[in-house]
Amino acid sequence: MKRIVKITSILIAIIFIAIGVKIATLGEKIDFSLLSKFVYHDDLKNEKSVNLKYFGTSCFAFTYNGETYLTDPFYSNPNIGQLLTGKYDDRSDLIEKFLGELDDVSLLSISHGHYDHCLDFSSFVTKYDDSLKIVTSQSTLNELNPEIKKHPTWQKVPINDNKNEHWIYSKKKNFRIFPVEGFHQPHFANFVLASGTYNQPLGKMPAQVWQWEEGGTNSFVLDIMNRDEIYVRYFIFSGGLKEQGKAKLIELAKEHPVDILFAAYFDERHTDHPLDELFQLLQPKEIIMHHWNDFFSSPYKEVRKLRNSKIEKVLIEKSEKKYPVSVMMPFTEINL
């Protein structure tokens, strides 16, 4: 019996070491001599435009006319040790400056429940409006229940209940979003990690990386409104689209064109074809690529890329094909 326990322990240790090595080699240095020409620059002088802050991965804050819409709250980039133990450093100092500049967040969307899309949900709590609407899957609402239940005035909007296909508005109606059903692209080969679902509200927040379950993946059409008219339309793409979601997106694009496509691009093998397909379908004026930065490396150090994104090479190739591609660097802001 002792021999079996010992062998099992050794095998588990080997598996964790292999995972650690894999994660440690997911990122690599960026060739800034190639990337720099594609970095979105803005002088921030146009105060009447949409202010966009980027925190890395898929976390954006859109501010317009006195309120803010936030996506996928994550910026802290915990290391492998923290992911395996579930003990995370407080890195809220990274966003203190930005929090001071944000108007109240009245609308929040979360594409899915993996840690790199909602681990830092609580870090933005001081900016959440009392009537905050949280738009995500029921599974992710269940996952974040320990924090949500502390704020009884917050409104939970499960995407599962969006059967009648309605727009979801922010408090002041400067923003509205429409969930588009999709699926998570594979992490390795054809395998999606932590692909489970929470059917009941959790009693305490997830800790270790495997406790952050996907719970279904969605993308979002975002309209920024000027009174009752569409000022601009964006599409925040987070993964593959199911046929029903694709059909709805095409229908919405016919009603009003997509001005900017925000395209997740973490692995060229899995995200290149969806980007090409979306560009052909939507013909956006601009494409801002996200989720390409190495979110396993310390956010206090120089930004690195996910090795498989091949982001510099991809930007050059897409640009040569006349794709209007760009990127933002984490912890920067622009006016659109």
Averaged in consecutive runs of 10 residues, what is the pLDDT profile of the chain (336 residues)? 62 51 71 95 69 97 96 96 94 92 95 98 96 97 98 94 77 97 88 94 97 96 95 95 91 96 95 94 97 96 95 97 97 93
Which residue, 145, 315, 260, is CA-closest to 213? 145
pLDDT value for 7: 65
DSSP readout, 201-243?
A: --SS---SGGGS-----EEEEEEEEETTEEEEEEEEE-SEE-H
How many residues in total does the chain contain?
Answer: 336
Count the neighbouring beta carbons within 10 Å of the beta carbon of residue 82: 17
In a 13 Å sphere around the CA of 210, the CA atoms on its Cβ side amount to 4
DSSP readout, 246-308?
A: HHHHHHHHHHS--SEEEEE-S-HHHHHHHHHHHHHHH--SEEEEES-B-TTS-TTS---EEGG
Identity of residue 294: D
pLDDT value for 160: 75
What are the structure tokens assigned to 27, written together?
């990122």
Count the neighbouring beta carbons within 10 Å of the beta carbon of residue 331: 16
pLDDT value for 189: 78
What is the reported pTM? 0.92
d(CA 173, CA 67): 9
Are 217 and 182 in contact by the 8 Å Cβ rule? The answer is: yes
Residue 81's Cα: distance from chain center in Å? 23
Q: What CA–CA distances, in Å, run from 237 to 1, 234, 258?
A: 51, 9, 12
Domain positions in the chain: 2-335
Are 218 and 179 in contact by the 8 Å Cβ rule? The answer is: yes
Are 325 and 37 in contact by the 8 Å Cβ rule? The answer is: no
Which residue, 251, 221, 256, is CA-closest to 235? 221
pLDDT tens for each residue of 201-235: 999 999 999 999 999 999 999 999 998 999 999 99
In a 13 Å sphere around the CA of 205, the CA atoms on its Cβ side amount to 17
Which residue, 185, 208, 183, is CA-closest to 266? 185
What are the structure tokens assigned to 16, written together?
């964790």
2-335 to CATH, choices 3.40.50.2300, 3.60.15.10, 1.10.1740.10, 1.25.10.10: 3.60.15.10
Which residues, 6 or more positions from 174, have their beta carbon under 8 angstroms from its beta carbon? 64, 65, 66, 67, 224, 225
Interior CA angle at 155 toward 166 and 106, to 5°? 85
Identity of residue 326: S
